[in-house]
Structure 1
Amino acid sequence: MGVPIQVKLNKIYLLASVTGNHLQSARDLYNYHIHFDNKQFIEIHTKEVLIQTLINIEQEIGENDGPLIHLEAHGLDSQDGLALSNGIELSSGEQINWEEIRPYLIAINAKCGNNLTMVMATCFGMYILQDLIKTFFDNVVGAQCPFFSFVGPESDIGVDDFTAAFPVFYKNLFETKSFVWSVQEMNKKSSVRFRCDTAYMVFEVCANSFADNQIKNRIQHMMKNPDIISDYYCRLYHYTYGIGCDINAVQRIMQDERFYIDYLNKMKKDFLHVKDGEIDRFPVIDKLIDFEKSVPVIRTLIR
């Protein structure tokens, strides 16, 4: 793991759901600082328009495209969604959370082969990454990431920081096509730190902590209600291999590192939109970190 992954970029959509000076700043960014030829500026005033815009993007992109969606909106203080403007310069407009727009982002990301980039010009934008982590740790069978790469601020942020930072970001992105380098340069102009992450990086972190968080800790929790353990493992076994699981074999499966490795590679394929017959651009998982430390705990719990 730790291998850099290539990201495509050939279309930019700037979706603006702000008003007044903030809207003008978004227009200036689009008109004077985003030099890519294939770009669109779209004003968003309602939840309905945002959803329809995402549907339109999914319909017009192709499987070889690398779209970037730049979203300018007020982040909710609850940190679980966006507040959309209603044509007036207030942050208390119509609200939409990440759960509502996730299916539309997944459709876009699946269509372009996991090459969607989200750029969040919103407060609390980084909290969208929690959605990825939660999906992974909830063992959502067949879960797919809603975007591949992500750029956004780590905390609350003002328009002045956006105005100073994003022209630098897009200048460097146009010249170098490197998201990491472009974020490093924009951070020199902003008092608030921006981050660049990928869905693979999130998966990598979760996989590295799998033995502790998903095996040892989860089994300790489930031992409070042992009846659910067999159902849980049989469900994961069927997802991984496509065949049923003998309940009598559950204790053996729980201690089998190969099973967990196969499960993670299956989840990686689904989560990162790797199609059958397609060359996998992501490294294969061949071992679990600290699995040998989890096995004694498992054996103690299932005696």
Structure 2
Amino acid sequence: MKEAVLYQKIDENKVKCAVCNQRCMIADGQRGICGVRENNKGILWALNDGKTIAVNIDPIEKKPLFHFLPGTKTYSFAAAGCNFRCSWCQNWEIAQSPKPHKLVQGLDILPEEHVKRALAHHCLSVSYTYSEPTIYVEYALETMKLARDNGLKNIWVTNGYLSMETMQLVTPFLDAANVDFKGPDDSVYEKYCGGKAGYVMESLKYLYLAGVHIEITTLLVPGVNDQAGQIENIARFIAAELSPEVPWHISRFFPAWKMTDTPVTPLETMNMAKETGRKNGLKNVYLGNV
């Protein structure tokens, strides 16, 4: 483990974490919402630093990124934990496994080893993915710097809930990001994920203006964010606040974790969403899991 970045010491051995927009106030002996940042006598520790919970060589289109280094392979890895609790999470076994006070699992792999492996497999990029890279930012950032020094591009697959402080830390080394955007509706984020939409929208705008290549993924979940008005609001936000050129990946829901009784997204809804994106001026709209 490593002392965490971006936290403030408070009275009575409390600390306030500033890595993501949860901004957890953490008492001595407790962890933040992510399950991997623990306060020990006024020092906040990143328990997942250096611990890889998943690693693979993926086609970059799997991130999904369709307009960044297309046709190439990306070296992908993750550490355990997440600052959300999305009820439909496909990777909940690794994202939620440390909560609330469980052992933080993973193989000890140094950043230098990740970069060495990426180069050996002829990858052009390293992707920080599968869980949420924000909550292993120390591990990610050290790897990103080494990757950049070795000519590799850096990619985050993120829920977009990183704080402004974290964005300022990572953006100089970040080349591309796929951001999961469930829509500009606080009620969806609050009920199903434990967050607020506004922070994700702020992150999208910041990263876009900073020159990071952005692609957006929206999982359409029946009864959650699949109504015509909700879908149109997402398309309008992308077109007006970012750019009509920003690729939008509309992903089909399949039952998972706490939503095993929710039906698969109908193809009619998927096609309606794609048409809605195009009607609102988006030039690159893709359907996933169909």
TM-score bin (small chain): 0.3 to 0.5
Which is strand-richer, 1 or 2? 2
TM-score, normalised relative to structure 2 = 0.33
Which is helix-richer, 1 or 2? 1
Mark the structure with the bigger radius of gyration.
1
